[in-house]
């Protein structure tokens, strides 16, 4: 039997770690993180963690590279402090979109992340809605992937009359995922055929599969980064007769001009989760946040007890 649960937060999203602690009824483990003038990072675990079941909470968000290094250093510090088991909790997985070698001489960086986490000493990973399922297979240690769909669907059902809505996959990749939302909400779906030229952040919508005319369109996506996909899909749906356009996405990366683009767009609302912190300038009225911290707390408790995580979704 493993000793107590220890929740350790990196610098990325301490508020999320605190919410997890509240749900679990535990105190956050004291740590200190220092950045020297030479940019080296030092992490010290300030409490005894011998034989403990340690969970390090660190979603990927800006500054991404510093966050990754801090996470690896924290795992290493826990290892050397004799934690019995270390779970890297990555509500948003770093470099998840670099998951394949689709151009010559590029890195499969999500795979590199898996290797780095294992090398640092992680025994398990807990994450949410990976950009693509193959990332789970990059690891040789157990990876539990939580799903935000049940929480987002509950929020949508409770906050809106969904009777004349149609769910829209912002691209063909998302089309596989949207079925889960459609089943839960009992709504029809449509799919935008989106194309990108290379790595640019200017996707083009070229066709619509399904019908949105006279309906309220709700775009579903795993993440909003630059907002390019969302803006293109929203304009395309309006052109095809949608009476209003909204969006729901799991991970609010909201990089570059994304928030300003959302503010200036005809999108009525954008529902996201709190896997990534929203800095004050990103907190605008149009963006509704649903917390997934209770689900993460439940999963942490289940991992600790050795009980089923899939039962959390039923
Ligand atoms: C694409 O495959 C994903 O599902 C998202 O649509 C994409 O990552 C969003 O990126 P951006 O907001 O930069 O268009």
Contact assessment for residue 167 and residue 185, using Cβ atoms and an 8 Å cutoff:
yes
Complete domains list, the chain, with CATH: 5-147+293-313 (3.40.50.2020), 149-290 (3.40.50.2020)
3-state secondary structure (DSSP) of residue 274? coil
Question: Residue 186 and residue 163: Cα distance in Å, rounded?
Answer: 9
Catalytic status, residue 30? no
Q: What is the band of 312 on the pLDDT scale with cuts at 50, 70, 90? A: confident
Q: For the chain, report the end-to-end CA distance as a whole number of angstroms.
A: 27
Ligand 1 atom 10, closest CA:
225
Mean pLDDT over 274-280 rounds to 97
Ligand 1 centroid vs 300 CA: distance in angstroms?
A: 29
> What pTM value is reported for the model?
0.95
**Residues 6+ positions from 229 with CB-CB distance below 8 Å:** 170, 171, 194, 203, 221
| CA 12 – CA 240 distance, rounded (Å) | 40
User: What pLDDT is recorded for position 1?
Assistant: 42
Query: Nearest Cα to 235, choosing from 201, 210, 212?
Result: 212
Contact (CB, 8 A) for 68 and 61: no
Percent of the chain with pLDDT over 90: 91
67 lines ligand 1 (CB under 6 A): no
| DSSP three-state, residue 257 | coil
- Of residues 6 and 202, the one with the higher pLDDT is 6
Mutate to test the pocket of ligand 1, among 92, 172, 201, 222 (most ligand atoms within 8 A of CB): 222
Average pLDDT of the chain, as a whole number: 95
Residue 187: is it exposed, middle or buried by C-beta count within 10 angstroms (0-12/13-18/19+)?
buried
pLDDT of 197: 72
pLDDT above 90: residue 12: yes
Query: Relative to the CA of 228, which ligand 1 atom is closest?
Result: 14
- Residues 113-167: pLDDT tens digits? 999 999 999 999 999 999 999 999 999 999 999 999 999 999 999 999 999 999 9
pLDDT digits (tens, 9 = 90+) for 174-231: 888 999 999 999 999 999 998 877 666 678 999 999 999 999 999 999 999 999 999 9
CA 59, CA 274: separation in Å to the nearest integer?
10
């Amino acid at each position: 039997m493993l000793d107590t649960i220890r929740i350790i937060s990196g610098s990325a999203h301490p508020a999320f770690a605190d919410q997890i602690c509240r749900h679990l009824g535990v105190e956050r483990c004291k740590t200190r993180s220092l950045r020297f003038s030479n940019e080296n990072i030092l992490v010290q675990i300030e409490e005894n963690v011998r034989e403990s079941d340690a969970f390090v909470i660190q979603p990927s968000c800006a500054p991404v590279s510093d966050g990754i290094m801090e996470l690896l250093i924290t795992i290493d510090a826990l290892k050397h402090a004799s934690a019995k088991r270390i779970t890297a909790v990555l509500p948003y997985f770093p470099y998840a979109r670099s998951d394949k070698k689709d151009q010559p001489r590029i890195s499969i960086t999500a795979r590199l992340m898996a290797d780095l986490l294992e090398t640092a000493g992680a025994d398990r990973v807990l994450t949410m809605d990976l950009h693509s399922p193959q990332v789970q297979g990059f690891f040789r240690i157990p990876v539990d992937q939580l799903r935000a769909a049940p929480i987002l669907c509950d929020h949508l059902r409770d906050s809106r009359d969904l009777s004349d809505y149609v769910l829209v996959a912002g691209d063909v990749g998302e089309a596989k995922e949207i079925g889960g939302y459609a089943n839960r909400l009992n709504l029809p779906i449509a799919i935008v055929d989106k194309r990108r030229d290379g790595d640019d952040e200017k996707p083009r919508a070229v066709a619509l599969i399904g019908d949105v005319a006279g309906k309220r369109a709700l775009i579903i996506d795993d993440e909003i980064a630059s907002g390019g996909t969302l803006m293109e899909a929203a304009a395309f749906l309006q052109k095809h007769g949608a009476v209003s356009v909204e969006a729901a996405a799991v991970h609010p990366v909201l990089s570059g001009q994304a928030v300003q683009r959302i503010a200036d767009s005809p999108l009525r609302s954008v529902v996201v989760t709190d896997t990534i912190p929203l800095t004050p300038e990103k907190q605008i009225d149009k963006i509704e946040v649903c917390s997934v911290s209770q689900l993460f707390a439940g999963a942490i408790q289940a991992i600790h007890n050795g009980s089923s995580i899939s039962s959390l979704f039923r």
